[in-house]
Structure 1
Amino acid sequence: MVLQASNYFIMAQRETLVHLFAGGCGGTAGAILTCPLEVVKTRLQSSGVTFRPIYFPQVHLQTINGGSFVRSTPLSPGLLQILKTILEKEGARSLFRGLGPNLVGVAPSRAIYFASYSGAKEHFNTIFEPESKKVHICSAAFAGFSSITATNPIWLVKTRLQLEAKERGQKKMNAVQCVKRVYQMQGFRGFYRGMTASYAGISETIIHFVIYEALKQRLRQERYLTPPGTTHVNQDSWDFLGLMVSAGISKTCASCVAYPHEVIRTRLREEGTKYTSFLRTVRLVAKEEGYTAFYRGLMAQLIRQIPNTATMMVTYELILYMAERV
């Protein structure tokens, strides 16, 4: 009896470590692949981008006495405009601003997330109907809360670095300098700015995993869709393709529904702005820029999220698949 309990504990511990490793690897692979789009998306979400003349065409207006003055058109820039400006003014390396903190944060963040999700799902399966939507919703919410609380300071530093726009030759702040600056200006609490918006973003996580789990279950039920006569290896490849498509569809749906929280979060993480709380930010953005501002950068997000999520989820599932056969 004692031996059985000991074996169960060892197996449970091994499974947790496998989920931690798989989640970390999946998150790292996705972050490296899509970092440039992450930078573009963050710039589009910020308030400062609207007031940076380099991003907009300039209009020369004639005065009464024949002189002229220059006015920048107050239009929101597009994805390609931001991308072009970063390349021209700041250089290609700026498209990977914040990658350091991203890599430092994404592995533990995704590892905590997937391990929490797996553990919570196992627990909630004993309370609710196994593998039901209630189980997936509660598990995703718990995993999101755990991950956000643990890693918010890393994401704040990443956002600050991505928002820093300096031309070629100008010295750019590194992660260590950013940490010191945040602490000097706002203290320890400054590292947790934007966390309320991140908590609101748990809704995106819930939607994503509910749809993903539903599609995954459907794939299992419809295994006969695998082309007849395929070998075991080809069948596994077909299954992973299905998981990749499922991850892309579920994340796209979730991003479209819950995207405004990302804009609010970026505004809250900006340095020295008027955005001091979640509700105040919602009111200010709606009043000053209109409700469409809550979807600035959505196109960059969708283009980024599909390959990012697909890469992350398939890497995660692949490592779990390989671990089961060791």
Structure 2
Amino acid sequence: MSQRDTLVHLFAGGCGGTVGAILTCPLEVVKTRLQSSSVTLYISEVQLSTVNGASVARVSPPGPLHCLKLILEKEGPRSLFRGLGPNLVGVAPSRAIYFAAYSTAKEKLNNVFDPDSTQVHMLSAGSAGFTAITATNPIWLIKTRLQLDARNRGERRMSAFECVRRVYQSDGLRGFYRGMSASYAGISETVIHFVIYENIKRKLIESKANANMDDEDESVKDASDFVGMMLAAATSKTCATSIAYPHEVIRTRLREEGSKYRSFFQTLNMVVREEGYRALYRGLTTHLVRQIPNTAIMMCTYELVVYLLNG
């Protein structure tokens, strides 16, 4: 891969990630709040006890719509964009690093394994995910802390710089890498996503080639090609997210300020023991609603930018 090709993939990946992050930020905030162990996420429902007639409060987690309503009522619309700053700072380099690493690894592995085989896609996605996570974890920790910083209307909100200072004062440099073990576990989601995506993409290309055998220029893309890529990205991301989602909840818990959660497996065991297995999938609906359009937008933007820059 030439230096120009690497820069093209860097730029395209950054553009795709930025567009997706801006459009889906409110859903990201709701999802993070639902994943948290914070008591502000729970509502009490008063019921009558059938034993002694006394009123008791049953505490249950709210759904996505109720959580959204609470944020709007208590904190205002601006809170739906909490953490957008660090997100924008991080998403461009993160996606750029990811796509550049993925393309580079894929090119090299194609010389080792069968070109564009499942092994190539899995190893490329895994190495790209590891590289991006290691480089950008501090940014995502700050983003999560800001999204969990629930303040009522009129109250002073914690800034990103204040958040950085508090993390460093409490945990030092190691504090910026909390939750990274869960992110590494989440590489499995990335691998599954790209394996499915590349297979669907290859099928679409083969289908178009068979349908346009008489055309002289098969490299020209039209709107249907990008719609197909969006559907491929949405389908692959839905499958991958549904399988690997628990790591998202564990990562959010590990990144909470003053958290009792210390390690990946300790957090996993504690969540299951205290809240049950269903807690590992809290916020999944919101996550899917966000990830499907976000991934589709990101992948389509990436493919479009690469296509335009490569002529």
1:42 matched to 2:32: yes
- 1:136-180 residue CA offsets vs partner (Å, 9 max, x unmatched): 000000000000000000000000000011100110101000000
Distance between the aligned counterparts of 1:293 and 1:201, measured in 2?
17
| Offset of residue 57 of structure 1 | 4.0
Distance between the aligned counterparts of 2:97 and 2:144, measured in 1?
21
CA contact (8 A) 2:97 2:131 kept: yes
- 1:106-132 residue CA offsets vs partner (Å, 9 max, x unmatched): 000000000000000001001111100
Of 90, 112, 115, which aligns to 2:100?
115
Distance between the aligned counterparts of 1:20 and 1:120, measured in 2?
14
Where 1:74 maps in the other structure, the secondary structure is strand
CA contact (8 A) 1:55 1:81 kept: no
1:14 aligned residue: 4
2:20 aligned residue: 30
1:59 matched to 2:7: no
1:162 matched to 2:147: yes
1:255 matched to 2:245: no
Closer/same/farther in 2, CA of residues 235 and 114 from structure 1, 3 Å limit: closer
| Offset of residue 59 of structure 1 | 2.1
1:272 aligned residue: 258
CA contact (8 A) 1:55 1:85 kept: no
1:6 aligned residue: none
1:8 aligned residue: none
Normalised by the size of structure 2, how large is the TM-score? 0.94
1:312 aligned residue: 298
Read off the aligned partner of 2:301 and give its amino acid letter. Answer: T
CA contact (8 A) 1:105 1:154 kept: yes
1:126 matched to 2:111: yes
| Offset of residue 74 of structure 1 | 1.6
1:93 aligned residue: 78
Distance between the aligned counterparts of 1:106 and 1:183, measured in 2?
22
Where 2:46 maps in the other structure, the secondary structure is strand
Read off the aligned partner of 2:253 and give its amino acid letter. Answer: R
Q: Greater CA radius of gyration, 1 or 2?
A: 1
Where 1:222 maps in the other structure, the secondary structure is helix
Moved over 6 A (4+): 231-234
1:287 aligned residue: 273
Distance between the aligned counterparts of 1:302 and 1:267, measured in 2?
19
Normalised by the size of structure 1, how large is the TM-score? 0.89
Closer/same/farther in 2, CA of residues 166 and 225 from structure 1, 3 Å limit: farther
Distance between the aligned counterparts of 1:82 and 1:290, measured in 2?
21
Distance between the aligned counterparts of 1:110 and 1:134, measured in 2?
22
CA RMSD of aligned residues (A): 2.3
Gaps of 5+ in 2: none
Distance between the aligned counterparts of 2:97 and 2:57, measured in 1?
45
* Identical pairs, percent: 64
Distance between the aligned counterparts of 2:273 and 2:150, measured in 1?
26
Distance between the aligned counterparts of 1:73 and 1:29, measured in 2?
41
Distance between the aligned counterparts of 1:288 and 1:317, measured in 2?
44
Distance between the aligned counterparts of 2:130 and 2:15, measured in 1?
21
CA contact (8 A) 2:44 2:59 kept: no
